[in-house]
């Protein structure tokens, strides 16, 4: 474990909040300093520049969940079991971190280079495509899945989990939900998704 100075940690936490909500372009160094309750110069003292601070934040936010998710997708478990485990773990994660996916997609879109650069040491995607294909093709033959592309399976699975997180604020407006309502929705979804997905993807 790296020893992280108290101030440094405060900055990182404040920066996480601001970057998550406002994105790189919308985030203001002064706002981050204010939220951390310290002088703006400290941001540069500890992290040098907005870019570097952002990079640290992005790394902290993704370096756990990204590899974990990729690993889960590649694991050799039987398909149905694997799917259930991913849905469970990932939905729990999303209830706690509802704005991470939108953050990631937003940044990829508005500044692909910056993110591609960071991503390549956060996660090894070198041969993800082929490994995944092999892995899902097996599942198809073993457990009577509809013969569809591995990519489609992954998109269906991830979309079913992630979309409600991305759309969180719109959902709350359109369906007039409180925060509690939303959490409820996600918990119920966690229970219902495996069946929906398995039935949907089966032959």
Q: Contacting DNA (CB under 7 A), which of 17, 23, 35, 38?
A: 38
If one asks whether residue 159 binds a copy of itself (CB under 8 A), the answer comes out as yes
- Check binding of 102 to a copy of itself (CB under 8 A): yes
Cβ 132 to a copy of itself shortest distance, Å: 9
With contact defined as beta carbons under 8 Å apart, do 42 and 7 qualify?
Answer: yes
Contact status: 105 vs a copy of itself (CB under 8 A): yes
Question: Counting contacts by CB under 7 A, is residue 7 touching DNA?
Answer: yes
Place of tokens 């041969």: 127
- The stretch among 1-9, 32-40, 52-60, 150-158 that binds a copy of itself (CB under 8 A) is 150-158
Contacts of 102 (CB under 8 A, 6+ apart): 165, 166
By CB under 7 A, is residue 30 in contact with DNA?
yes
Maximum distance among all Cα pairs of the chain, rounded to whole angstroms = 61
CA–CA gap between residue 34 and residue 139 (Å, rounded):
51
Query: Which secondary structure element, helix H or strand E, spans residue 175, and what is its range?
Result: none
C-beta of 9 vs 202, nearer to a copy of itself: 202
Tell me which DSSP letter residue 145 carries. B
Q: Out of 34, 116, 117, 144, point to the residue binding a copy of itself (CB under 8 A).
A: 116
Cα-to-chain-centroid distance, residue 66: 7
Site residues for DNA per CB under 7 A: 5-7, 27-30, 38-42, 44-45, 48-51
């Amino acid at each position: 474990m790296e020893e992280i100075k108290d101030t440094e940690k405060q900055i990182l936490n404040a920066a996480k909040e601001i970057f998550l909500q406002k994105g790189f372009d919308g985030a203001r160094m002064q706002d981050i300093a204010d939220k951390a309750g310290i002088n703006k110069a400290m941001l540069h003292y500890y992290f040098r520049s907005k870019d570097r601070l952002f990079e640290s934040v992005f790394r902290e936010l993704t370096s756990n969940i990204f590899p974990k998710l990729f690993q889960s997708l590649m694991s050799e478990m039987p398909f149905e079991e694997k799917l259930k485990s991913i849905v469970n773990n990932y939905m729990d994660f999303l209830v706690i971190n509802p704005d991470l996916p939108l953050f990631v997609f937003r940044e990829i879109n508005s500044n692909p280079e910056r993110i591609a650069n960071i991503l390549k040491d956060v996660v090894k995607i070198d041969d993800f495509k082929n490994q995944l294909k092999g892995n899902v093709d097996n599942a198809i033959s073993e457990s009577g899945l509809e013969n569809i592309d591995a990519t489609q399976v992954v998109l269906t699975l991830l979309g079913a989990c992630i979309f409600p997180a991305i759309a969180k604020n719109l959902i709350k407006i359109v369906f007039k939900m409180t925060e509690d309502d939303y959490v409820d929705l996600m918990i119920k979804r966690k229970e219902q998704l495996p069946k929906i997905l398995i039935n949907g993807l089966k032959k």
